[in-house]
Structure 1
């Protein structure tokens, strides 16, 4: 089976496609870096929509998601954005954990696996 890399950089790719499975790297806020959890979550989910489209799939085919929050107390704030974005009836398996992220300006990071 072939392997396709999307957004391939020197350290990592935005996504890797193997067969009919799309593995997304951890996405953090670009435009909303340093802003609220709400704004960062919106930014990240918009990036994920773009990456999934480049991979030939969409959010209705997400299999699993792992969400990392710098502060678990922001769980409800992140969920408000997630709930308005996720496709009803096509919600993925999901875990949310508190973790120290790569830089203090990042409060949310999301990793996903999707079918194509």
Structure 2
């Protein structure tokens, strides 16, 4: 099996290609002053970039893990999500409330996509 790692550090790779799939790490926003919807939009844009780097796109996402620092942010994040997906080719998805690395961080998203 061939494994290709992209944007790697000593701790993790931002995205990994293996066995016909693309796996992102948990993608977080850099602008922590934005609301949950704005942070989600930023994260989804980065996911688009990473998927394109690996020769795939959001229409091929099969699984998403979405972490919110407060489940009440779900509505704003879902607005960003629906605008991003256009309501089609939606993957399986888990959404959970979790304590994130920085209290200003409202959302983190990881995806698995087919090549």
How would you bin the TM-score normalised by the shorter chain? over 0.9
Rounded Cα–Cα distance in structure 2 between residues aligned with 1:24 and 1:62: 11
CA contact under 8 A between 1:59 and 1:87: conserved in structure 2?
no
SS in 2 for 1:27: coil
**Structure 2: gaps (5+ residues):** none
**Structure 1: gaps (5+ residues):** none
Q: Cα 1:114–1:87, aligned 2, differ >3 Å: closer, same or farther?
A: farther
CA contact under 8 A between 1:27 and 1:111: conserved in structure 2?
yes
SS in 1 for 2:74: helix
TM-score by length of 2: 0.96
TM-score by length of 1: 0.95
Q: Does 1:94 align with 2:79?
A: no
Q: CA RMSD in A?
A: 1.0
